[in-house]
Structure 1
Amino acid sequence: MNLITLENISKSYSEKKLLENISLGINDKEKIGLIGVNGTGKSTLLKIIAGAEIEDSGTITKANKVRIEYLPQNPYYDENATVLEQVFKGTCEEMKIIGDYQDILDKINKSYDEKLNEKLLKLQEKMDALNLWDLESSAKTVLTKLGITDFNQKVEELSGGQRKRVSLA
């Protein structure tokens, strides 16, 4: 099954053509690697595939329900966050919904507001539809499989390798 197809992808920065007419297909269960010297567009191509950057021309076709994330070489870490809090600082739609839900819940706990309550109910419906109530348990399972078991440990206390595993989670 084809997961993603890129056709004639091009990307330039000012006068410099970084990618020109790149075509690529990735099928289910394939493992691929990008090899090249610095500055040849490997990271840019990955960012385009993940949707973190826009191509100048070409088309990208993804199979239904395929989601691609991009983990930068030097991700941002909130040094004061716990491991679990850092995992939930992700940028995907689900993380935004959970963050919005938590923000509104905190505001309602401080001062009840009918409009905020309506927003909370709509977010609860989204969380139900996306089955997000078990996400914390899933995050803990993934972290454990990656060798991280102290979910309340501060990010600032982690080694570089542990931080990278938290980012993967």
Structure 2
Amino acid sequence: MTARKSGARKAIAAAIVSAALLSGCTATGWIAGSPPAAGSQTELPSLEKVRNFLFVVDDAGEGVLLGTIATAERTEVAGIEYAAELEDGSFGDVQPIDFTAQLAPQSSVQLEGPELSVSNPDLRAGHLAAVTVDFASSGTVSLQVPVYASDHDDFADAWQAAVGG
């Protein structure tokens, strides 16, 4: 009987220690090792992924679209369009961004630089923009993306490289 009690006590002690260890990663005050993405993301069932899309603009609406497009299959980005959110919450006229790309399987393309620059006084920091990415053979994805100020610490260099330099 003593051996049974000793075994039961060990099992209970092990369960308590395990519970304490397993709950440690969800304890209050836990901070992720990397911050969440600043932009918006979506994907198609055909495995094209649009990640961390956002605009960075100055007060005049001079800016750049930033983000990443990734794919598991060979694909072609046929075009990108956007519409700025207006003061009344609706979206303005659709504007094209002259950008295309061929992506090999298991690859991605980083959107940045002068080829993704835009000029639209309706693009204002703190508002949204509706963006549509057209994939030549698999369809389109649409998402609403945030618009950040060109002097934002995280995006000032990207804005400068695309627009200011």
TM-score bucket (shorter structure): under 0.3
Which structure dedicates a bigger proportion of its chain to strand? 2
Which structure dedicates a bigger proportion of its chain to helix? 1
Q: TM-score, normalised by structure 2?
A: 0.21
Report which of the two structures shows the higher radius of gyration computed on alpha carbons: 2
Q: TM-score, normalised by structure 1?
A: 0.21
Which one scores higher on RCO, CA 8 angstroms, separation ≥ 6? 2
